[in-house]
Amino acid sequence: MGTENEVKKMGFGRIGFQELLVVFGIALLIFGPSKVPEIGKAIGNGIGEFRKASREITKSIDIEDNKE
């Protein structure tokens, strides 16, 4: 892997508004207007579960550090 500057030079980084519009447009074309809200909800639920799990892991690590 490269440094952060090398990654930025290659064009990788944060997703902007235009990129989100392109992704949304492609999803709309592929899945149709009836499936896009369902997919968005599933992705949102997945992100929420991931955040919850990472908070629990962080909390358990902090508890272990405090025991020592």
Domain hosting residue 47, numbered range: 32-68
> Which is more confidently placed, 50 or 65?
50
**Count: domains in the chain:** 1
For residues 53-63, give the mean pLDDT.
89
User: How confident is the model over 52-57, as a mean pLDDT?
Assistant: 94
37 is a domain residue: yes
46 occurs within a structural domain: yes
- Amino acid in position 38: E
Residue spans of alpha helices (H) in 1-68: 4-9, 17-31, 36-67
- Structural domain contains residue 10: no
**Farthest-apart Cα atoms in the chain, separation:** 55
Per the domain annotation, does 65 fall within a domain?
A: yes
The reply to whether 4 falls in a domain is no
What is the pTM for the complete model shown? 0.57
- Would you say 30 and 24 are in contact if contact means Cβ atoms under 8 Å apart? no
Q: Report helix, strand or coil for 11.
A: coil
CA torsion through residues 26, 32, 33, 38, sign: negative
